[in-house]
Amino acid sequence: MDSKNHYKAYCQVLSEVIKTAKNLYYNNLIAQADNKQKVTWNVINKLTNAKTTNNMDPPNINGNSFTSIANTLNTYFISMADNLLANKFSRSDTTKINDSMKYLKQNIKRCPSQIKLYNTTTHEINKIINSQKNKTSHGYDGISDKILKASAPFIISPLTYVFNKVLLTGVFPDRLKYSEVQPLHKKDEKTEIINYRPISLLPSFSKFIEKIIYKRLISHLTDNNLLANEQFGFRKNFTTTVATYALLNNIQSSSDKKMVCRRHFL
């Protein structure tokens, strides 16, 4: 009996130790991650035994051939944007659009200075390349970020020359606009085309140019105060958490004002 009680007590202690160790491991994993949201969801999926599927498998629609399925998906994806825009504008509140235009007219009293797309440097391009993850995914050109990082010392100079030509002429190379579109299964039946959404795999070079132009564009908008305080998307330090706090503060301020007015009335 003593051995049995000792065994049960040991199992209980061991379970607590394992549980504590797991919590410590996952907490450290999330804390040290660059993309905390992605890692958090990976941990959740692992702990809940969420099943993963091969999202790249094309749907078997009525036993059609691969070419027929590709054309069907292509037609569906092309029409998605038009349908979304039509639905959005059919339900849009024109008041919000007028408010946005009113804001621009009130805050932009003068024509801002001309944007300066100053030349890039080998240092800036090298920094961009090194900031990329070692991914093996690639666009139609077959060149992944992993390959680019390995060959960076040999291609930085010609890339600097080409990118400066883009900034000087204002012409974005057509070949860098092409993307490899793949269907991503989201949920439910794989035979239903509505359960897929497209993902575009762009050439890494086009993403480098976008980062260079973005840096100059955001500097111009910030320096000339052309962005509203309510603009949180695609801005540094303007996260969803900050937006949530701002919304809660506005709600609280509005509630406090109503209470003051009510007390004054009473």
pLDDT-based confidence at residue 56 (cuts at 50, 70, 90): very low
What pLDDT was estimated at residue 154? 92
Q: Does position 89 have pLDDT exceeding 70, yes or no?
A: no
Same domain, 139 and 184: yes
Same domain, 149 and 198: yes
Quick check: is 223 in a domain? yes
Q: How does pLDDT run across 150-179, given as a tens digit for each residue?
A: 999 999 999 999 999 999 999 999 989 888
Same domain, 117 and 216: yes
Same domain, 195 and 148: yes
pLDDT-based confidence at residue 76 (cuts at 50, 70, 90): confident
Quick check: is 52 in a domain? no
> In the predicted model, what is the mean pLDDT of residues 85-91?
61
Same domain, 128 and 257: no
Total domains in the chain come to: 3
What pLDDT was estimated at residue 31? 84
What DSSP line would sit under 66-109, residue for residue?
HHHHHHHHHHHHHHHHHHHHHHHHHH--HHHHHHHHHHHHHH--
> In the predicted model, what is the mean pLDDT of residues 23-36?
83
Quick check: is 162 in a domain? yes
Residue 237 near residue 218, CB atoms below 8 Å: no
Residue 149 near residue 196, CB atoms below 8 Å: no
| Residue/partner pairs of 79-86 with CB below 8 Å, 24 or more apart | 80/198
* Centroid of chain to Cα 163: 24
> In the predicted model, what is the mean pLDDT of residues 138-149?
89
pTM for the complete prediction? 0.58
What pLDDT was estimated at residue 9? 82
Question: Between the ranges 41-50, 216-225, 251-260, where is the mean pLDDT highest?
Answer: 216-225
Same domain, 123 and 236: no
Backbone angles phi, psi at 246, to 5 degrees: -65, -40
> In the predicted model, what is the mean pLDDT of residues 174-187?
86
Quick check: is 189 in a domain? yes
User: Which of 213, 138, 141 shows the shortest CA–CA distance to 182?
Assistant: 138
Same domain, 85 and 17: no
Same domain, 145 and 261: no
Domain span at 124: 66-228
Quote the tokens at residue 180: 């490899």
pLDDT-based confidence at residue 55 (cuts at 50, 70, 90): very low
Same domain, 38 and 103: no
More confident residue, 29 or 104: 29
Quick check: is 244 in a domain? yes
What pLDDT was estimated at residue 124? 95
Average pLDDT, the chain: 78
Residue 156 near residue 125, CB atoms below 8 Å: yes
Same domain, 150 and 209: yes
Residue 192 near residue 59, CB atoms below 8 Å: yes
pLDDT-based confidence at residue 135 (cuts at 50, 70, 90): confident
